[in-house]
Amino acid sequence: MKVLAIDYGTKRCGIAVGDCDLGIAHPLTTLINDGRLIKNLKDILSLRGTEEVIIGLPLNADGTVSNIAKKAIRFAHIVSHELGIQVKMVDERFTTDMAKNILVEEGISAAKRKKKVDKISASLILQLYFSNPSAAVTIRDLNP
């Protein structure tokens, strides 16, 4: 089954793709979070034959729901409704920090890191899902 992951942000959303059978995530792109975001996601889903979307749930370090997590939950409901696709959410605490560390270790310059960090983070979210699919929460269990 083909899966797409989103690292939701109020300015940018990182996108990664993968296949559940292979269990490998690949960073794809970063989309601007503007009025075209849902259309751009629809195009990617259609092109890739995606059957499920995984969205990162950015909880606080103590596991409580952050303000950005509330926005991500609302976004997940919009994606599910507008695109007619199953959406699950995965606890993504620290994935952005992990993505930044990966890019620093690869010697990527600060300017280039900013362009890549969101899609790397999305691939880490997808890898978390592949590692433990039962930890994902379906959005029907989350209030927008």
Which SS3 state, helix, strand or coil, does residue 21 take? coil
* Per-residue confidence band for 144, with pLDDT thresholds at 50, 70 and 90: low
**Residue ranges per domain, the chain?**
2-138
Distance CA 66, CA 72 (A): 10
User: How much is the average pLDDT of 49-74?
Assistant: 92
Q: What is the mean pLDDT of the chain?
A: 87
CATH architecture of 2-138: 2-Layer Sandwich (3.30)
Q: What is the pLDDT of residues 29-47, one digit of tens each?
A: 999 999 999 999 999 999 9
Q: Which two tokens stand for residue 43?
A: 């195009």
Is residue 4's pLDDT more than 80? yes
Is residue 83's pLDDT more than 90? yes
Is residue 25's pLDDT more than 90? yes
Using the structure block, give the residue that is written with the tokens 């370090």: 61
Which SS3 state, helix, strand or coil, does residue 123 take? helix
Helix axes 110-131, 95-105, angle to 10 degrees: 130
